[in-house]
Amino acid sequence: MKKTVQELAVLLGGTVIGKGDAVIEDVKGLAEAGLQDITFAVDPYTEYLPQVHAGAVIVEKEVPAGDNTLVVVENPRLAFSQLLVLFHPRQSVTPGIHPTAIIDGSASIGEDVAIMPYAVIGKNVEIGKGSTIYPYVFLGDNVKIGEGSVLYPGAVIHENCVLGKNAVIRAHAVIGGEGFGFATEKGKHTRIPQIGNVTLGDDVEIGACTCLDNATLGSTKVGRGTKIDNLVHLGHNVEIGEDCFLIAQTGIAGSTKAGNHVIFAGQTGCTGHITIGDNAVFAGKSGITGNVKGNQVYAGFPIRPHMEWSRTQVYLKHLPEMAKTVKALQKKIAELEKKLEQQ
């Protein structure tokens, strides 16, 4: 594909500063971009633009850029993602049902659905129009899949779970596995039946090998627009709000409720039965042990406000020196006390 910078700017709703007639053939990262490529830069990386020689650079404001043509847009990252889709469209899938797929006669399949080899579709399943079911996907009884959804190879959706429109379920994710609930008496563990389900809002994405347990009763819930990375675990009856980010290896114990726009960075661990406010942000490896107010950034284990944690980390670096100082002071105090005793 070839497009001029001006054509791309019109597509993105941006303004060209420089050579609008330059021809672009591909989309590249800032370090790899050449004269036929378009890339993007946001602060603080814009300071390196004079060293870059790309066909065009997407930015959010005019900055010193050497010999680069600029395309100024409101959101460079979003614009860059649009160009990735334009220049590198995803593999198209032809609608139809492969003869090796096993589909119960009671299932309802919408228009333009693709069901690939060896998928297994249970009783009373509903699959919305335009959805794609890749090989070896399992859909349990009474599962509902919203239109435009994509389920990648090996994904498992257990019985009674509900996925909204445009759901993306990556390879080998498990939605609705039985929640981890046991009653313990005299050291022996007896399973408590987990008879609920999992519900996902529209535009939710679930990463590879991520596991969302079903509820004991009711539903484990993920709100509209939330994106969950690979290798994340949500326990039974967890509720995650809208437009949240859950990054790899995050684990959230049962019955915790998180508000909207919450970010859990990688390897965050969260105890159960707590409430987390809107817009809370947790740095990587945070340990959440109690209720959390929203609109603040947290870090550490147990978590504390990020600035407080940062100051503590600075002191920790000086602990060996401080220990020596304390020992020296203790020695001097002991000497002074001895002198006072001798007087």
Query: Per-block average pLDDT, block size 10, for the chain (343 residues)?
Result: 96 96 96 95 94 96 94 96 93 93 98 98 98 98 98 98 98 96 95 96 98 97 98 98 98 98 98 98 97 96 90 86 92 90 82
Per DSSP, the three-state class of 9 is helix
206: Cβ contacts below 8 Å, ≥ 6 apart:
167, 168, 169, 170, 173, 175, 200, 212, 222, 228
Q: How many CA atoms lie within 13 A of 290 on its CB side?
A: 3
Would you tell me how many other CB atoms lie within 10 Å of the CB of residue 179? 26
298: Cβ contacts below 8 Å, ≥ 6 apart:
280, 281, 282, 283, 286, 288, 292, 304, 305, 306, 309
- What is the C-alpha to C-alpha distance for residues 103 and 70, in angstroms, rounded to an integer? 53
Distances (CA, A) of 149 to 167, 168, 203, 208, 318: 5, 6, 9, 15, 53
* pLDDT at 312 (0 to 100): 86
Dihedral sign for Cα atoms in the order 170, 172, 178, 179 = negative
* pLDDT at 91 (0 to 100): 80
Q: Is the peptide bond before 44 cis (omega within 30 degrees of 0)?
A: yes
Distance of CA 181 to the CA centre of its chain: 26
Residue 236 designated active-site:
yes
- Hey, which residues does 4 pair with through a beta bridge? 23
Nearest to 137 by CA among 190, 105, 192, 98: 98
Hey, what long-range contacts does 145-150 have (CB within 8 A, 24 or more apart)? 146/202, 147/110
Instruction: State the catalytic residue, choosing from 88, 158, 233, 236.
Output: 236
Q: For 265-286, give the DSSP string.
A: -TT-EE-SS-EE-TT-EE-TT-
Q: For 59-79, give the DSSP string.
A: ESS----TT--EEE-S-HHHH
Would you tell me how many other CB atoms lie within 10 Å of the CB of residue 257? 17
pTM, two decimal places: 0.87
Q: Write the DSSP symbol of residue 261.
A: T
Q: Write the DSSP symbol of residue 89.
A: P
- What is the C-alpha to C-alpha distance for residues 263 and 191, in angstroms, rounded to an integer? 32
